[in-house]
């Protein structure tokens, strides 16, 4: 084992470079490797608090080190791996025999390495023969991915290197708060900020929105769920004020004639009535975006995508970028900020219900033939498309639903919408298996819990938000009882007499992934393990035989057969219903009913996703020990809520109990709640799974309706 190992942070998709040194004097004192920032284009040696403390989890006393099997009395007991895997394979067989192949389901995660994500999709389809596989990225990137595929012909979060933003003069940030979610990214926005060119769209005055103060740019604060209308208003100004790049539109796009009638209906004054954003600010922002279109970028995040119209909203952002002539032009562009560590690679190679490796459609006969040949099976033996995550989770335990579920790298009891119903579905299963390195809230419902490796104990590859494939390297030895998921799949495949090969070696799996992805949109076939080890900049697509990868996509053509981008005409909808087109006054202080407010959920700087990791790091926990409701002072006064006092949030799905924090950073008609916490603070108990985006199947995470009331301290205790 080398004294120091060059690797990358286990958290977000920025994948900050770091060095782990288990042999340093400091490491010897603290019991886990010393972390040092490493000079790398995305982070340049910097990291956020989560990255600096990431190694502490390698020595956590909460670590799982042996398989846990629930007995008839409901208690967990340690068992051998032989017993655990025999039982798991037996339960899989029994469920398939009794309910059919789709009686078994697999749920993956955006934190798995490319090799694990790839082999998990392969295992589901040829070892289990089930179509029922999806992953938690469905709740993250699915709307942005669907929009990029239909407009640009390819989904790569940032189709340019992050460092291209260093020279930007104007950056539109829609529904993203990188100052708290990926702080090292902010350094790439400084040039735009210095030129007064940050345009931030967010219902909250977030840390990123505050970067627009003192001449840094413009903050647009729309009513939650009206981002699509705001984007139509910005595009209206671009077209009607003569700011569009007509030459670019003629050469590189189709669909302008169909888009213009939609834009005509959304002039700034009308947009103000729906969004609450002053018409003058809309015009100012549009002109700012067009002032130097060779230095302008449009970037979206979950805030505008996690809606029932998230795909259309992301499409509207792409339309705006195309009208300005940005995508595929050096020094400008459109992109979306991927969230989870391998959110990009995790959705490219087979975890999604409708995809095969290389970002291929599972319903495409040519794609099925190619992948089946690599796997050594008949194309006809591959199942068809499955169902997206929401549908998979809402049918758990049902007569025609999944009856035996395997969860990998995901904590659905915290992260899924209507999480109370998800928990009840897990209880209704015949058998639940959870792979994790800590005993998560989802593991509490399991029949079998399998201890797996943490990031610094494994080998593999990850794909960052800019489409760059990176090496994850083992820096420390895992606990004796923990096992790699690749090994688990290989052992299960043998027990299930699965066709093909299932290697436990990540380099061998990567070689097979290269072959399976060859010719697909996400083509990794030209990327070698040796090139990754040498630190080459390996951006996909990189077809075999090509001299280099593609750091900047779309320079010559877009991903559609004719090489052109598509302007997609989209119309506003809210909560699954069309927006009322009649003008009406907008009153920011108006509440729909006493105590009824719009809930938006999001992240804290110190916590990550479901908190299963970060809530175990003492310094992070002490900084953010629990959820706090952010509410405007005027709204709080009307409801009799004091700063720091307990409040109850309810929706038709459940309730949450948290203290309140009064802040003028939030709109009076809106409240904000982080989603990292468990028990009575689980924000996603309130979120509906009933309505989803018709294209991406994204639930409405960012504009739910809740009732808020003050609680007596005694009620909080009860």
Q: Which residue has the tokens 């072959």?
A: 515
The Cα 717–Cα 595 span in angstroms is: 22
Q: What is the pLDDT of residues 206-245, one digit of tens each?
A: 999 999 999 999 999 999 999 999 999 999 999 999 999 9
Query: What is the SS3 string spanning 329-373?
Result: CCCCEEEECCCCCCHHHHCCCCCCCCEECCCEECCCHHHHHHHHH
Q: Where are the beta strands (DSSP E) in 22-132?
A: 34-37, 68-70, 76-78, 104-108
- Position 579 pLDDT exceeds 70: no
Count each helix (H run) and each strand (E run) in the chain, helices first: 25, 30
**Tens of pLDDT, residues 296-330:** 999 999 999 999 999 999 999 999 999 999 999 99
In the numeric block, which tokens belong to residue 520?
């697909």
Domains and CATH numbers, the chain: 5-59 (2.20.25.90), 68-138+350-452+484-518 (3.40.50.740), 142-336 (3.40.228.10), 587-717 (2.40.40.20)
Tokens of 286: 């549009």
DSSP H or E segment with residue 41: none
Position 339 scores a pLDDT of 82
| Other residues' Cβ atoms within 10 Å of the Cβ of residue 550 | 20
CA 42/CA 47 separation, integer angstroms? 10
Distances in whole angstroms, Cα of residue 473 to Cα of each of 111, 271, 289, 335 = 15, 50, 41, 28
pLDDT top residue among 158 and 717: 158
Quick one: which of 414, 321, 369 has its CA closest to 109? 414
Q: φ, ψ for residue 659 (rounded to 5)? A: -80, 160
Rounded CA-CA distance 492/494 in Å is: 5
Say if CB 513 and CB 349 are below 8 A apart: yes
Residue 496: Cβ-neighbour burial (10 angstroms; 0-12, 13-18, 19+): buried
Q: What is the pLDDT of residues 431-447, one digit of tens each?
A: 999 999 999 999 999 99
pLDDT band at 510 (very low <50, low <70, confident <90, very high): very high
Residue 580 has pLDDT above 70, yes or no: no
pTM of the model: 0.95
What is the separation, in whole angstroms, between the first and last Cα of the chain? 52
φ, ψ at 217 (rounded to 5°): 155, -145
Cβ(71)–Cβ(77) under 8 Å? yes
Place of tokens 């975006």: 289
Residue-level pLDDT at 715: 65
What is the structure's pLDDT at 29? 75
**pLDDT per residue over 30-46, tens digit each?**
788 899 999 999 999 99
User: How many whole angstroms separate alpha carbon 479 and alpha carbon 453?
Assistant: 8
How many whole angstroms separate alpha carbon 466 and alpha carbon 553?
10
Omega within 30 of 0 (cis) for the link into 196 = no
Contact 277, 221 (CB under 8 A): yes
């Amino acid at each position: 084992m080398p004294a120091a190992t060059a690797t990358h942070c286990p958290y977000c998709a920025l994948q900050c470079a770091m060095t782990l040194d288990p042999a340093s004097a400091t490491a010897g004192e603290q019991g886990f490797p010393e972390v040092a920032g490493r000079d790398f284009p995305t982070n340049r040696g910097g990291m956020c608090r989560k990255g600096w403390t990431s190694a502490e989890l390698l020595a956590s006393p909460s670590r799982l080190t042996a398989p846990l099997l629930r007995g008839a009395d409901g208690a967990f007991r340690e068992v051998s791996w032989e017993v655990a895997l025999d039982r798991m394979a037996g339960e899989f067989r029994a469920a398939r025999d009794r309910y059919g192949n789709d009686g078994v389901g697999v749920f993956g995660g955006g934190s798995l390495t490319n090799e694990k994500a790839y082999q998990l999709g392969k295992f589901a389809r040829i070892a289990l023969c089930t179509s029922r596989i999806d992953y938690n990225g469905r709740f993250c990137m699915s709307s942005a991915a669907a929009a990029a595929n239909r407009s640009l012909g390819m989904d790569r979060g940032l189709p340019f290197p992050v460092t291209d933003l260093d020279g930007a003069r104007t950056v539109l940030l829609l529904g993203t708060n990188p100052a708290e979610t990926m702080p090292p990214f902010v350094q790439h926005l400084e040039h735009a900020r210095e030129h007064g060119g940050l345009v931030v769209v967010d219902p909250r005055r977030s840390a990123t929105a505050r970067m627009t103060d003192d001449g840094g740019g413009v903050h647009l604060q729309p009513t939650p769920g009206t981002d699509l209308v705001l984007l139509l208003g910005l595009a209206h100004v671009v077209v009607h004020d003569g700011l569009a790049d007509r030459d670019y539109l003629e050469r590189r796009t189709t669909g302008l004639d169909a888009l213009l009638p939609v834009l005509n209906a959304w002039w700034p004054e009308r947009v103000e009535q729906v969004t609450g954003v002053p018409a003058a600010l809309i015009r100012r922002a549009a002109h700012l975006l067009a002032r130097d279109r060779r230095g302008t970028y449009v970037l979206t995040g979950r805030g505008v995508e996690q809606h029932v119209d998230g795909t259309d909203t992301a499409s509207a952002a792409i339309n705006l970028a195309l009208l300005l002539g940005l995508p595929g032009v050096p020094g400008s562009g459109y992109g979306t900020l991927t969230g989870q560590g391998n959110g990009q690679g995790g959705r490219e190679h087979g975890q999604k219900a409708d995809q095969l490796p290389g970002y291929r459609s599972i319903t495409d006969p040519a794609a099925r033939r190619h992948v089946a040949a690599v796997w050594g099976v008949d194309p006809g033996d591959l199942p068809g498309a499955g169902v997206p995550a929401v549908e998979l989770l809402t049918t758990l335990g049902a007569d025609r639903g999944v009856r035996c579920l395997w969860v990998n790298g995901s904590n659905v009891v915290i992260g899924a919408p209507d999480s109370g119903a998800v928990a009840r579905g897990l209880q209704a299963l015949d058998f639940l298996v959870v792979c994790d390195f800590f005993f998560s809230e989802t593991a509490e419902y399991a029949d079998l819990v399998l201890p797996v490796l943490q990031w610094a104990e494994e080998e593999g590859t990850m794909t960052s938000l800019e489409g760059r494939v990176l090496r994850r390297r083992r820096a420390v030895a895992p606990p004796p009882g923990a096992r790699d998921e690749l090994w688990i799949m290989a052992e299960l495949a043998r027990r299930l007499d699965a066709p093909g090969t299932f290697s436990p070696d990540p380099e061998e799996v990567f070689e097979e992934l290269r072959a399976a992805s060859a010719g697909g949109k996400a083509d990794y076939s030209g990327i070698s393990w040796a090139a990754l080890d040498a630190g080459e900049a390996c951006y996909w697509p990189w077809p075999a035989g090509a001299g280099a990868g593609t750091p900047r996509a779309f320079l010559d053509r877009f991903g559609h057969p004719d090489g052109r981008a598509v302007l997609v005409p989209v119309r506003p909808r809210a909560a699954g219903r069309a927006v009322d087109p009649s003008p009406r006054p907008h009153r920011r202080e108006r509440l729909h009913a006493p105590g009824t407010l719009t809930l938006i959920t999001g992240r804290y700087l110190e916590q990550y996703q479901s908190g299963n990791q970060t809530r175990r790091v003492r310094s992070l926990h002490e900084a953010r020990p629990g959820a706090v409701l952010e509410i405007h002072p005027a709204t709080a006064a009307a409801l009799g809520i004091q700063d720091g006092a307990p409040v109850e949030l309810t929706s038709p799905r459940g309730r949450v109990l948290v203290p309140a924090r009064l802040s003028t950073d939030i709109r009076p008609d809106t409240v904000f709640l982080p989603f990292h916490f468990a028990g009575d603070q689980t924000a996603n108990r309130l979120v509906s799974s009933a309505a989803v985006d018709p294209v991406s199947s994204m639930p409405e995470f960012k504009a739910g309706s809740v009732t808020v009331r003050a609680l007596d301290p005694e009620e909080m205790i009860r």
